[in-house]
Amino acid sequence: MLNAKCSQDELYNIVQTVGRGVSGRSTQPVQNNIYLSSQGDTLRLVATDLEYVSIDAIIPATVSDEGATTVPARYFTQIATTLPGGDVELVADEANNLAISCGSASYDIRGVSADDFQMLPEVVDATEFSLPQSQLSELLRQTVFAASDDETRPILTGVLFSLADSSLCLVATDTYRLALRTSENAVDQSQEAIVSVRALNEVLRVLDDEADEPAKIAISDDLVSFEVNSITIASRLIEGEFPNYEKVIPDEDQLDKRITVSTAELESALRRALIVAREDANRVVFHTSEEGLRITADSPDVGHVEEAIPAKLDGEAIETAFNASYILDMLDAARSEEVRIALSRPLEPGVIRPSDRDDYTYVVMPMQIM
């Protein structure tokens, strides 16, 4: 049976990551466990909800006996967190009781046979490609927040990955806003897949947004996996047809009113306006003129707020209302010094892009001006 020794620091870090693969809602108690196996010079940990998240990781270990068991994720995570520093020894017996010892602390935890633990199938016959971790992190940060959390519409709880013409396009929408990000990609293949935001948020957690080391992506007909260093996050794809997002994006010829504004100044003004706007569904009104951009919000219970910020206007003046939180989400993700807001009519969608690039498009639906 399993007998391995590893660093407490490494065990703590990896258990924090792997443990998030447990949903806690499984009807099969063993799936609320973390799978442990010792082989060669590594300790492998796996947790999965058998649907949209599987997290599989390895850490270096001194292995005396090869074997496998599973232990409750809740208790194993708490133990790994509180153990003193140094080496941790893990020994499982034939009854799947796991002895954990580190320094003067020791535990005996009741486990369940590894034979009862189910895992997602391996991703086979897949389209495979790699992206620098920093690039993938940016692609995800700029899209996942726009997906829906309404589980009655599962298609919208994922992000569309579209490979075509040596480019990768990511799209997310909750029908109130849409985020689209494109990137060059070396794979000259065509494929579409809808990937659960739950899985993508776990991928974001393990990516280094400043690293050039590759993240490997594999997409098959029904599964996707992301390999980042020694961690693999896999998920079943969401079945169904993604909405025709291209119809949602207004024609450029119709967007005849454009505002260029400092991201920092717009963000600060919107956060101040939200103090009032929160009581009115986060509604803020944009008033454009040659003098700049004036932002107002009203609430019968709170009052009125008004602030003018410098902005460059190209086209006629317009008044239109938006959900301030939706715009703040985009400004935070864009990370650009300025943004361009393109508008047509008060009750038509607006399009926001970083002023220095065209590979990121954010469409936001307007609100009625009350």
Per-residue pLDDT of the chain (370 residues; tens, 9 = 90+): 899 999 999 999 999 999 999 987 777 889 999 999 999 999 999 999 999 999 999 999 999 999 999 999 999 999 999 999 899 999 999 999 999 999 999 999 999 999 999 999 999 999 999 999 999 999 999 999 999 999 999 999 999 999 998 899 999 999 999 999 999 876 778 899 999 999 999 999 999 999 999 999 999 999 999 999 999 999 999 999 999 999 999 999 899 999 999 999 999 999 999 999 999 999 999 999 988 999 999 999 999 999 999 999 999 999 999 999 999 999 999 999 999 999 999 999 999 999 999 999 999 999 999 7
Query: Which helix (H) or strand (E) segment is 275 a member of?
Result: helix 263-277
- The tokens 């003004």 sit on which residue? 269
Residue 336, Cβ neighbours under 10 Å: how many? 15
Long-range contacts of 335-339 (CB under 8 A, 24+ apart): 336/263, 337/262, 337/263, 337/264, 338/260, 338/261, 338/262, 338/263, 339/260, 339/261, 339/263, 339/266
Enumerate the β-bridge partners of residue 321: 285, 367
Distance, in Å, from the CA atom of 95 to the CA atom of 93, rounded to the nearest integer, reads 5
Which of 3.40.50.2300, 3.10.150.10, 2.30.30.100, 3.40.50.1100 would CATH assign to domain 127-246? 3.10.150.10
Q: Outline which parts of the chain fall under CATH 3.10.150.10.
A: 3-116, 127-246, 249-364
Please report the sign of the dihedral spanned by the C-alpha atoms of residue 269, residue 271, residue 275, residue 279: positive
Residue 223 has φ and ψ, to the nearest 5°, of: -140, 160
Longest dimension (CA), the chain: 78
- CB-count burial class (<10 Å; 0-12, 13-18, 19+) for 351: buried
Q: Does domain 249-364 have CATH number 1.10.3720.10?
A: no
Residue 93: phi and psi, rounded to 5, are -100, -175
* Homologous superfamily in CATH for domain 3-116: DNA Polymerase III, subunit A, domain 2 (3.10.150.10)
pLDDT of residue 62: 97
